[in-house]
């Protein structure tokens, strides 16, 4: 099996503050423990590229970080793009679209 690309958003609920950047930063730091997973921070999510098992482990680590920082409820959304007729990468997907613009 090849690599998947997954998009992840981890949102703590009931945090009493509308600002989430500190929570997002903690999620990003958790990714340092997954050196085989490539990550890209966007204004709405984190996009991950790697083997399914490693990506899911990274997502679970990100999902735990708000609890470690005081949250008692977390919503995590994951979108997985898994293509098996040929390898996909974040870079390759972007390049394929841009070549058609």
Contacting residues toward its own copies, per CB under 8 A: 5, 7, 9, 11, 13-22, 24-25, 28-29, 40-45, 47, 52, 56, 60, 63, 67, 72-85, 90-91, 93-94, 96-101
Rounded to the nearest whole angstrom, what is the least distance from the CB of residue 54 to its own copies in the complex?
Answer: 13
Question: What's the rounded Cα separation, in Å, for the pair 35 and 77?
Answer: 22
* Residue in 33, 22, 17, 30 with CA at minimum distance from that of residue 69: 22
Rounded to the nearest whole angstrom, what is the least distance from the CB of residue 36 to its own copies in the complex?
Answer: 18
Contact 33, 68 (CB under 8 A): no
């Amino acid at each position: 099996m090849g690599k998947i690309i997954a998009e992840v958003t981890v949102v703590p609920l009931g945090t009493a503050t509308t600002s989430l950047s500190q929570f997002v930063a903690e999620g990003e730091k958790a990714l340092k423990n997954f050196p085989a997973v490539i990550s890209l921070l966007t204004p709405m999510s984190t996009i991950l590229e790697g083997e399914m098992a490693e990506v899911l482990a990274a997502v679970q680590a990100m999902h735990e970080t708000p609890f470690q920082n005081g949250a008692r409820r977390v919503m995590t959304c994951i979108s997985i793009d898994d293509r098996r007729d040929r390898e996909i990468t974040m870079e390759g997907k972007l390049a394929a679209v841009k070549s058609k613009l």
